[in-house]
């Protein structure tokens, strides 16, 4: 495994940058440009590079979808949120007349993780194969139901014509999938969700979204520490602040940046990526959460440093 690319990083619902939000960024950029040389393109790049990501960029708004670069011709993806659509467009651009195989791993069946499938153009192409993996018995049922009338204009069989296959993954059992060792684990979330651990060529990647972590339960904590153990990268549901996660949003099925740091430190993880961002948060709020998480990691650091990132649509991380 070489790395990952994020195509959708929001939780619950896709969001878009509004005119008001864009206007705020533009005003900040123009203020920062006062008195600066911006005559050449290089000057402009330098200025933009000096600004915070929340001003010069955006975390984006697609819901959950992450591509794994396994270093092979096959494609590997976690979840089919609305980010699956731009991923599909990118895969189409690389097609060059060849048939393509997609292995897609499903954490669970909530809308924000399945809504991209009806818009996944590579699955419309004769000869292509799309293999959907998951530990939910209702995986096929949920995806077919999503395209039933009166909720969607085109039926599952009409557009996919048998190109989609389903594979059940027994939780806790390592499965071999096209060169990757894949293990799922049951997580605490309404309707159940499953975390994934991918291993290949001495690298380990954990995808753990839509999961609540009761801090007071040592058996639960130990299970996750073992699952995260020595991972190169953990993609973690950090939808809430700790205060929210343990107060009025307890039992909402999500976790926090603070719990992410704690579990990753205990498990000797190398890199934590905050993921499944709250749709209410604007870019400044996510950037503030990232800064707070990095400070927390620094002051609680034991031996080796834990690198902390916040996912955004388009972010690439190497393993
Ligand atoms: Zn979700
Ligand atoms: Zn969910």
Note the pLDDT tens digit of each residue in 61-119.
999 999 999 999 999 999 999 999 999 999 999 999 999 999 999 999 999 999 999 99
* Ligand sitting nearest the alpha carbon of 275: 1
pLDDT at position 210 is 96
| pLDDT digit string, tens, across residues 13-43 | 999 999 999 999 999 999 999 999 999 999 9
For the record, the structure tokens of 130 come out as: 């799309």
* Ligand sitting nearest the alpha carbon of 83: 1
Whole-number percent of the chain with pLDDT over 70:
98
pLDDT at position 254 is 87
Q: Would you say residue 214 has pLDDT above 90? A: no
Q: How far is the CA of 296 from the centre of ligand 1 (A)?
A: 25
Q: How far is the CA of 246 from the centre of ligand 2 (A)?
A: 18
Distance, CA of 215 to CA of 170 (rounded, Å): 26
pLDDT at position 244 is 72
Whole-number percent of the chain with pLDDT over 90:
92
3-state secondary structure of 246: helix
B/e letters for 144-183, b = 16+ CB within 10 Å, e = fewer, are eebbeeeeeeeebeebbeebbeeeebeeeeeeebeebebb
- Residue 246 pLDDT level (bands cut at 50, 70, 90): low
Distance, CA of 45 to CA of 175 (rounded, Å): 46
Average pLDDT, the chain: 95
* Ligand sitting nearest the alpha carbon of 80: 1
Q: Would you say residue 140 has pLDDT above 70? A: yes
pLDDT at position 122 is 98
pLDDT at position 249 is 67
Q: Would you say residue 196 has pLDDT above 70? A: yes
Distance, CA of 88 to CA of 65 (rounded, Å): 11
* Ligand sitting nearest the alpha carbon of 277: 1
């Amino acid at each position: 495994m070489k790395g990952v690319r994020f195509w959708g990083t929001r939780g619950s619902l896709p969001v878009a940058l509004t005119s008001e939000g864009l206007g705020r960024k533009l005003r900040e950029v123009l203020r920062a440009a006062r008195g600066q040389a911006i005559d050449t393109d290089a000057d402009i790049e330098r200025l933009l590079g000096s600004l915070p990501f929340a001003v010069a960029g955006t975390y984006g708004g697609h819901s959950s979808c992450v591509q794994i670069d396994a270093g092979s011709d096959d494609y590997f993806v976690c979840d089919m949120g609305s980010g699956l659509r731009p991923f599909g467009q990118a895969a189409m651009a690389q097609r060059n007349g060849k048939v393509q195989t997609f292995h897609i791993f499903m954490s669970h069946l909530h809308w924000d993780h399945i809504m991209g499938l009806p818009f996944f153009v590579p699955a419309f192409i004769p000869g292509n194969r799309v293999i959907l993996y998951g530990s939910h018995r209702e995986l096929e049922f949920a995806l077919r139901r999503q395209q039933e009338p009166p909720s969607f204009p085109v039926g599952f069989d009409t557009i996919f014509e048998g190109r989609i296959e389903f594979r059940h993954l027994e939780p806790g059992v390592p499965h071999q999938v096209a060169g990757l060792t894949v293990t799922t684990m049951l997580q605490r979330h309404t309707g159940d969700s499953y975390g994934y651990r991918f291993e290949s060529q001495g690298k380990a990647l954990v995808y753990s979204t839509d999961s609540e972590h009761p801090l007071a339960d040592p058996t639960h904590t130990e299970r996750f520490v073992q699952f995260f153990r020595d991972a190169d990268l953990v993609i973690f549901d950090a939808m809430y602040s700790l205060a929210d996660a343990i107060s009025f949003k307890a039992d909402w099925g999500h976790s926090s940046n603070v719990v992410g740091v704690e579990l990753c430190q205990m498990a000797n993880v190398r890199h934590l990526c905050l993921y499944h961002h709250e749709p209410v948060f604007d870019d400044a709020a996510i950037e503030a959460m990232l800064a707070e998480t990095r400070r927390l990691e620094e002051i609680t650091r034991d031996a080796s440093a834990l690198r902390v990132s916040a996912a955004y649509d388009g972010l690439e991380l190497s393993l």
